[in-house]
């Protein structure tokens, strides 16, 4: 974990990724995408750096300048 890495709850993580909370939950449950998460009891948290890494892996092509 990076120093000062922010932990986001499911709602915050879904907003950050621009998807619904239910979509994020399905991805987590069925393993559709490999997005690491932290689970303690019923609480689920995502590291912002892991979400950034997920977005980087999903980026296709280059924008032309």
- pLDDT, tens digit, 9 for 90 and up, residues 10-39: 999 999 999 999 999 999 999 889 899 999
In the sheet that holds 7-9, the strands lie side by side as 7-9, 43-47, 38-40
pLDDT at site 10: 96
pLDDT at site 3: 61
In this prediction, residues 36-51 reach a mean pLDDT of 95
In angstroms, the Cα distances linking 33 to 5, 25, 28, 63, 65 are 21, 11, 7, 24, 31
Max mean pLDDT among 12-16, 55-59, 61-65 falls in 12-16
- C-beta neighbour count of 54 within 10 angstroms: 18
Question: What DSSP state is assigned to residue 41?
Answer: T
pTM of the model: 0.81
């Amino acid at each position: 974990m990076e120093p000062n890495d922010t932990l986001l709850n499911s709602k915050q993580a879904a907003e950050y990724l621009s998807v619904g909370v239910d979509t994020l939950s399905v991805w987590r449950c069925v393993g559709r995408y490999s997005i690491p998460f932290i689970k303690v009891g019923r609480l689920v948290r995502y590291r912002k750096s892991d979400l950034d890494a997920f977005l980087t892996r999903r980026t296709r092509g280059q924008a032309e300048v």
